[in-house]
Each structure stands twice: as C-alpha cells, then as structure tokens.
Amino acid sequence: MTLPSSPRVVALSGGVGGARLLRGLARALPAESLTTVVNTGDDFQHWGLHIAPDVDTVMYTLAGLSHEERGWGLATETFTALEAMKLYGEDGWFALGDRDLATHMARTLGLARGETLTAVTDRLCRAVGVGARVLPMSDGRRATMIDTKEHGTLTFQTWFVRHRAVPAVERVWFDGDPGTTPQVLEALAAADLVVIGPSNPYVSVDPILTLAGVRDAVFAKPVVAVSPIVGGRAVKGPLATMIPQLARVPPSAAAVAAHYPGLRGIVVERGDAVPDVRTLETDTIMIDAAGSERLARAVLELGRAVS
C-alpha cells in the first residue's frame, strides 16, 4: 500500500512540541487533509472557566498567535485582569492573559449553552483562522492524575504548573473514560496515516490512546511518531526524568518507540538509534515555522516508506 500524494493525516498532539509539528503539517498538506486529535487530560477549571491548555496551544500555534519562547499563551498579551484578580485575593498561580481569557470565557459560555467541546473548539479555531481540523480527544471529562510520593495524587496542572513538575512521578493514571467522539473515530477511519507528535507519551499521548476504542482505531492505520527525546534529553518538559521513573530505562528515542507497540516508524534526531522499528534521522528541533515544515515533510516521507 502506498500513500496518496496528499494523504489524509490524523496527528495526535499534546501541547508545544506536538503543536509545532502540526504547524509544519499544516504547511505541508492541504487544510482538508489534516486533522489533529488533541489531549484534553490537562483541562481544568480556573476562575470558573474551562481551560484546555493543549487545545489552546494547538489553536494558537496553528493560527500563528502563540508565544514562541515562552511555550504557552499568546505572543502579544497583557496581564491586566490577572494583576487585579491577585489584588482581589484570587488564585494567581495560573497566568491567564487578557486575550487568552477571552478564549476561556468564550469556551465556557459555549459549553454552558450546550455546545460540545468539539463544536466550540471548531468555532474558536475558525474565528482565529485555523484551517486544519482541531478535535479534542473527548467531549467528556478525563483528568490526567499524577501520583507522587511527596504530595500524593495531584491533578496534572497542579503537578505541572504549581509544583513545576518537580515531584517524582510514581504513576500516571486517568480519571474517567468518557470515550472519544464520533468525529475522532470518523477521522481515524478515513485516515491514510496517523502521526504521533513529539509530545510526552505518558501525559499527552496516553490520555488519547487509552480512551476506549482509540488505540485499536489508531493502530489499524500506519502509525509513525516523532521522538520528543533528543540525545537523551527532552526538548521541553519533564519527560527525560519521567521515563526512568515510569519505564525504568534511560530516556531515549528508543524508549519512546518501545512505548508504542505497533509503531511502524519513528523520526529521531541524527545519531539517535532506535532498534526494531523503521527510523528516519533528521534535525528534529523546530525553531521556526520553516523548521516545522521540514520535519513534517520528513514525517510524511517516513509515512510513505512504511505504508
């Protein structure tokens, strides 16, 4: 089987790393050929608002609005409301910008009116000019939970933002399985290739893959991944310390590949060897949109090779 020239691609994504690959895929593919399924295990309520950090990062990155260096929020942002909320004694540990706040308010209002998260995400993405389809992994609640020795069980955001991902992770689990959406299952059924972005396997990809029925639907298709581990280190985030804690092996691209049984291929940094799976070595650090596109084209090339 070979891929068509514009394969229908479904890409699984967490936040920054996955979003940057999506930016490249969006440049390499026609808009109608790209669907992304985004982790919502980090979603939480703050100031009475429904916040979907990975969905927002994907939306802002695809819209060209994201803050490049900081890795969250918007390039042009002010924090006027946040400062006043602190003055009023409200929680200020999650830095919500004024522009970003509108996203969470619009989402929360949409959900309150009975829209699904899928519908409201689609509406917000169109409003900011995103062409690719952005699908939350689920319309229901599934919270990524982190068991730590130091602080017991924490929600992902509490562990990641409040505790800066410092407490050692004993186990990652997911509270609730509301199932995925018909839109995700239809997109997977129609896909020529599934791409697992360079996201954290434990806290960004597993929340999606372990939803009832999703793993089978994903691995019914050719699946390639991009390693979030480069030369034994995580490009961003706590993954390099989580792999030894959770898989009892050193952090490596091979450890990432081994986490996905059935994977057909993996794109890794030059010099990162991965046994037992087709490997494409290239520059995997995406410092700008052109870098994202180069990596995306490598991913599609590997996808063609394994299909």
CB of 78 to a second copy, least distance (A): 6
Q: In this chain, which of 31, 95, 127, 189 binds a second copy, going by CB under 8 A?
A: 127
Give, as ranges, the residues between 81 and 120 that touch a second copy (CB under 8 A): 81-85, 87-90, 97-99, 101-103, 105-106, 108-109, 112
Q: Which residues contact 56 (CB under 8 A, 6 or more apart)?
A: 100, 103
Residue showing tokens 């309520």: 45
Interaction residues for a second copy, span 243-302 (CB under 8 A) = none
Locate all alpha helices (DSSP H) within 130-195, ordered by sequence: 156-157, 182-190
The full length of the chain comes to: 307
Q: With CB under 8 A as the contact rule, which of the stretches 21-29, 124-132, 146-154, 248-256 interacts with a second copy?
A: 124-132
- Give the DSSP letter string of 200-240: -IIIIIHHHHTSTTHHHHHHTS-EEEE-SEETTEESSSSHH
Q: Which stretch binds a second copy (CB under 8 A): 76-84, 137-145, 209-217, 279-287?
A: 76-84
Neighbour-count burial of 295, counting CB atoms closer than 10 A to its CB (0-12 exposed, 13-18 middle, 19+ buried): buried
User: What's the closest the beta carbon of residue 55 comes to a second copy, in angstroms?
Assistant: 14
Rounded Cα gap, residues 296 and 307, in angstroms = 16
The 3-state DSSP composition of the chain as helix, strand, coil percent (nearest 5) reads 40, 20, 40
Give the interface segment with a second copy, choosing from 51-59, 78-86, 247-255, 262-270 (CB under 8 A). 78-86
x/- map, 128-167, a second copy, by CB under 8 A: x---------------------------------------
Q: Is 48 a binder of a second copy (CB under 8 A)?
A: yes
In the block, residue with structure tokens 């068991």? 147
Q: How far is the CB of 68 from a second copy (least distance, A)?
A: 20
What are the start-end ranges of the E strands in 163-241? 169-175, 193-196, 223-226, 229-230, 233-234
Regarding 1 and contact with a second copy (CB under 8 A), the answer is: no
What are the backbone angles phi and psi of residue 9, rounded to the nearest 5°?
A: -110, 130
Interface with a second copy, residue 45, by CB under 8 A = no
Q: How many chain residues touch a second copy (CB under 8 A)? A: 29
Give me the least distance between CB of 89 and a second copy, in Å please. 7
Identity of residue 201: P
Per CB under 8 A, residues contacting a second copy are 47-48, 77-78, 80-85, 87-90, 97-99, 101-103, 105-106, 108-109, 112, 123-124, 127-128
